[in-house]
Amino acid sequence: MPIDITMPALSPTMEEGKLAKWHVKEGDTVSSGDVIAEIETDKATMEVEAVDEGKIGKILVAEGTDNVKVNAVIAVLLQEGESADDMTAAPKAEAPKAEAPKDDAAKAAPPAKTAETPEPAKAEATKTEAAPAPSPSAKAASAQTKSAGDKVFASPLARRLAKEAGIDVAAISGTGPKGRVVKSDVEAAKSGATPLKAASPSAVGAPAAAGVAATGMKKAQVLAMYEEGSYEAVPNDGMRKVVAARLTESKQTVPHFYLNLDCRIDALLAAREQINAQAPKSKEGKPAYKLSVNDFVMKAWAVALQRVPLANATWAGDSILYHKRSDVAVAVAVPGGLFTPVVKSCDTLSLREISETVKDLATRAKSKKLAPHEYQGGASSVSNLGMFGITSFAAVINPPHGTILAVGVGEERVYPDKGEIKIGSFMTVTLSCDHRAVDGALGAEVLGVFKGLIENPVMMLA
């Protein structure tokens, strides 16, 4: 019988993706392992291979289609001896529910009501608890959002998340089958990526919108402040939506605190110059490698996490994970967002290996060719804006990481030394810590170890 080809999950958290390109067309014969399509997520573009052999009988999702749900049928594969006549009608994401016979209508009604909408009494109780005295404007907004007799189709998880966020699920535009509200719709509403239905200035203060209002102004409210034609509205792509949602979540749920130090890097710069000068050159005179200051920073931070293992930690709800390896992510800017590919066991790599690994990851990140395992995991990150002349900054922690080290530009500064005025090269680093996993004294300790390694780079080898 025909085999359904479904949208694959390229990572544990993936819920939908873009079918970027088909490598086959209807009628083509494929074998197991053949690349048949390219799937694009917010982080990567991955090739999809056929798992069975046969002939492509029907392509159900055109290339270039966005927001294709995981496990949705994208094509049908015919096996040997089968033809298009053997295919049933195109599969649907959710089949319509059969109507109950008239004689059983009274029995069927209560379960249906419980599954689709809360009981009136419970709904009223919820409203009373959330808002003892709703204002007329709030009532008006609710009336606009949900007209009499309307049913709200939403998954149980979406309902729970909406309730926890203080959002009326009826105000959320559903993108699931038949307009069903799913988890991603609630998250988009929480982050402000999609506006709520019937959102109006008078309803902003209503309890139902309080949870969303706290995440930022809605699109309609922002646009109302500017003269029409004075701007260009560019829709956010998947990457920007995910970056916005994750960083909003980080600042709202992760208790950040910040520590900063000035590191003298004269010895580091001298060592870097000496190592680069010894690099073998090709016939064209191109050196085999060229270390950057960031390569030293990555190495020093990875070693520091090994020497202060309690700081190599991530928060996991009812426990703290203390990591045995120094898997350090490095922030890479790409058009429309950023990646944080992870350098695994960074402390065990040489400076040259770190340099080559980071360059490879950064190159493939900019072309969205990273595999999920290359940008997931890790316990800490390094973000360096020194190349842009930034003196210092405080970076936002990338959950579930416990820390992120922000690195500023190396520059000459005047400093006192035993009553004398001298000039040296310094850079400022700022460590952002998740206070749930890393306390102040512990953050200060690991940052002090890092400073010692940066100022005496030979100690990275000790």
Active-site amino acid positions: 435
Dist CA 344 CA 327 (whole Å): 4
Measure the CA–CA gap between 53 and 77, rounded to whole angstroms. 8
Tokens of 52: 């069975």
Helix or strand holding residue 97 (H, E): none
Sign of the alpha-carbon torsion through 196, 202, 204, 207: negative
Residue 358: name the closest of 332, 388, 389 by CA.
332
Strands 328-330 and 380-384: parallel
Supply φ then ψ for residue 288, to 5 degrees.
-70, -25
CA distances from 368 to 6, 17, 355 (A): 22, 13, 20
**Residue 51 phi/psi, 5° resolution?**
-100, -15
CB atoms within 10 A of CB 118: 16
Task: Name 424's bridge partners.
Answer: 413
CB-CB neighbours of 52 under 10 Å: 11
